[in-house]
Amino acid sequence: MNRWLLPEDIADVLPAEARKVETLRRAILDLYQSYGYELVAPPILEFLDSLLTGTGSDLNLQTFKLVDQLSGRTLGLRADITPQVARIDAHLLNRAGVTRLCYAGSVAHARTPAGSSSREQLQLGAEIYGCANWEADFEAITLLLKTLELAGLKKVYLDLSHAGILTGILADQRLDKETIESLYGLLQSKDRPRLKQWSTCFPAKVADALLALTELNGPCAEVLVKAKKVLPQHAAIDQALADLDHIVTAVNANAGLELSIDLADLRGYQYHSGVMFAAYVDGLPQPIARGGRYDQVGQAFGRSRPATGSSLDLLTLASLSPLNVRKLAILAPWVQDASLEKVITELRTRGEVVIQVLAGEYVEAAEYECDRELVKQGNSWEVKKK
């Protein structure tokens, strides 16, 4: 085996792409800071029982495990940062009011996620803790849309759903995790014949509502009107539809956004507790980002409080971004000359890129385009166009 080969679905990020990733990371985190989000950096390794606590337990199959040689305990290499941020909010910060946190860090998956080509991602996200109102969900969506706009992705398709709909439909039913997973799969595939047969064990009112979910998708106004007619009366359902109505009204002002609702799209239903959303862009079959409300996320850490937010893979975002981050640079001779060094220092202080080369050599760099050069004119060095 060649020593330079990497594991399957693990890849290097080369100069030009790495610069784009880093440029986007800085710009997006600055955007989040302008909204009052505080940056946190959880460790990439944790004790496995802590890493998989609560909602994190669903990540068990995706988590790399290893033994800590100091303690003898099993460690996990994180596959998702969100549970770690919930731990920080619940256990370390322990604030009473609204807390806004953001993060950007590597995650690794033991198995390649569906729709992805890599087992390593650079997860970037923002979370709001301590606010149960729909306005927090709207802020999370707004921040996600601004993130995609910052990356130069002008056409965005946002799909909304709500975990409270299914909660209301199944309110009087006691279902185990396997049954919920089966139901989720049937709803996701919109397989009406199999769903109809599968739901015969439920009361007719519940079965009819489950079948109705498969057809409640499309333009927001139409879906909301139809949902109010065909879904059963229940406080959780009424609240869910009201939340979606508020958000649709608020989000619709965004130019370049195509908004829709799919009440059968319940990916992550057992994780989410309220509004759920997925953002799609041209050139990518799966969502570029997902988010929503998950009010029970901190419960396993001893402090359950409202939470909402979103996350995305920055490497995927950079690969789709049309932004050109190639920087113009100045070429300079690599010679010992005090006056030259002084000029180069001044240029670099002003933010210019100055690359020194030996006589007869040229610059091979995907990140830079040398459009100028330092030339000696009499006793001084001047920047001239090449």
* pLDDT digits (tens), the chain, 386 positions: 677 789 999 999 999 899 999 999 999 999 999 999 999 999 999 999 888 876 655 688 899 999 999 999 999 999 999 889 988 998 889 898 999 999 999 999 999 987 788 999 999 999 999 999 999 999 999 999 999 999 999 899 999 999 899 889 988 888 877 787 788 888 888 889 998 888 888 889 989 999 999 999 999 999 999 999 999 999 999 999 999 999 999 988 776 789 999 998 877 656 778 899 999 999 898 999 999 998 877 676 777 789 999 999 999 999 999 998 889 999 999 999 999 999 999 999 999 999 999 988 888 888 999 999 999 999 999 999 98
Q: At what angle do helices 204-213 and 177-189 cross, to 10 degrees?
A: 50
Residues annotated within the binding site are 80-82, 123, 127, 267
Instruction: Please give the pLDDT value at position 58.
Output: 66
What pLDDT is attached to residue 252? Answer: 81
Decide if 365 contacts 15 (C-beta within 8 A).
yes
Whether the Cβ atoms of residue 312 and residue 303 lie closer than 8 Å to each other: no
CA distance 138 to 148: 15
Helix (H) or strand (E) holding 257: strand 257-262
Superfamily of segment(s) 1-153+282-325:
Bira Bifunctional Protein; Domain 2 (3.30.930.10)
The strands making up 257-262's β-sheet, listed across from edge to edge, are 38-39, 99-108, 120-129, 307-313, 289-293, 275-281, 156-162, 257-262, 217-219
Query: Which strand (E) or helix (H) includes residue 122?
Result: strand 120-129
Provide CATH code, domain 156-276.
Answer: 3.30.930.10
- CA–CA gap between residue 57 and residue 63 (Å, rounded): 10
Fold matches, 1-153+282-325 and 156-276:
yes
Enumerate residues 6+ apart whose C-beta is below 8 A from 56. Answer: 80, 83, 300
Question: pTM above 0.85?
Answer: yes
- The per-residue pLDDT for 270 is 63
CA dist., res. 18 & res. 126, Å (int): 22
Annotated binding-site ranges for L-histidine: 80-82, 123, 127, 267
- What residues does each domain of the chain span? 1-153+282-325, 156-276, 327-385
Q: What is the pLDDT of residue 269?
A: 58
Tokens of 145: 């849309």
What kind and span of H or E run contains 193? helix 192-198
Structure tokens at 79: 């596959």
